Amino acid sequence: MNVPKQFTTMRGMGEARALVVRRDVSPTEARPLLERVAAIRWGELYHAYGPAVDVPGQLAAVIAGDDATRSEGWWNLGGNIHHQGTIFEATVPAVPILLSIARWQEHPDRVQALVLLREIGAAEGVVVWRYGPSDEIVTDEDEQERLYGVLRSELDGGAAELLEQWREEPETVQRSLLWLLTVLHDVRPQHEAFVAKLLPEDHRRAWDLVIEESAENEKDAEAVFALEDWVFAEAAG
């Protein structure tokens, strides 16, 4: 299993961190993911800060790292490919990797992967940018539209596959899948039974507010916060 010895942190000004592999990582599960990551030409893709040369190391960190390594990896990965609600072309090939982590039964951060996928799914489009001749930011609208379609297809298909087995999942994963469904408009209608089974009655109003993006006052916001607290209560415990 070929795991990088280090990964870099864009937020840490490119500081190198040791990638410590956790003792119980499964080579059978990790190797195909690491190989998939290594096959992508990340340097030709951009994230929030520029060429995504740091993303493969960060993905390797969350795939195979110990607790401290994964924590650092998630923090930097999230800031690079999902920056203040914006996603980028480098986000698109990361989605299948995150979905694979979410499907990996023994991975300790399945919930973390689902949370990041939910935030990615909430974005309204993919940003493809480069610096122009005068250092201005130039975007490619055609490529943005194409990549957003690719991303939605990958996310919808991967989530639908996960939801097929929701009854066998631990409650933390079930609740995270429920939260992911709030941004999957095309997938959600096929899983009304899952929602009806899992979502408590006292959170139904907040569920509708999140889906409709219609929270307009303090009472609405409190209801949504309570829903989020319920979703992540077991994970936090």
Q: For the chain (length 237 residues), average pLDDT per consecutive 10? A: 87 81 95 96 95 95 97 94 96 98 97 98 97 94 98 97 95 97 96 96 96 93 96 70
* φ/ψ (deg, to 5) at 88: -135, 175
Collapsing DSSP to helix, strand or coil, 108 comes out as coil
* Bridge pairing between strands 129-131 and 86-88: unpaired
- Report pLDDT for 235: 58
- Report pLDDT for 137: 95
**Residue 132, C-beta contacts closer than 8 angstroms, at least 6 positions apart:** 138
- Report pLDDT for 237: 45
**Residue 204, C-beta contacts closer than 8 angstroms, at least 6 positions apart:** none
Measured distance CA(217)–CA(221) in Å, rounded: 6
What pTM was estimated for this model as a whole?
A: 0.95
Q: Which two tokens stand for residue 108?
A: 């300790």
- Report pLDDT for 94: 98
> Token pair 């937020």 is at which residue?
11
Q: Where are the domains of the chain?
A: 6-165
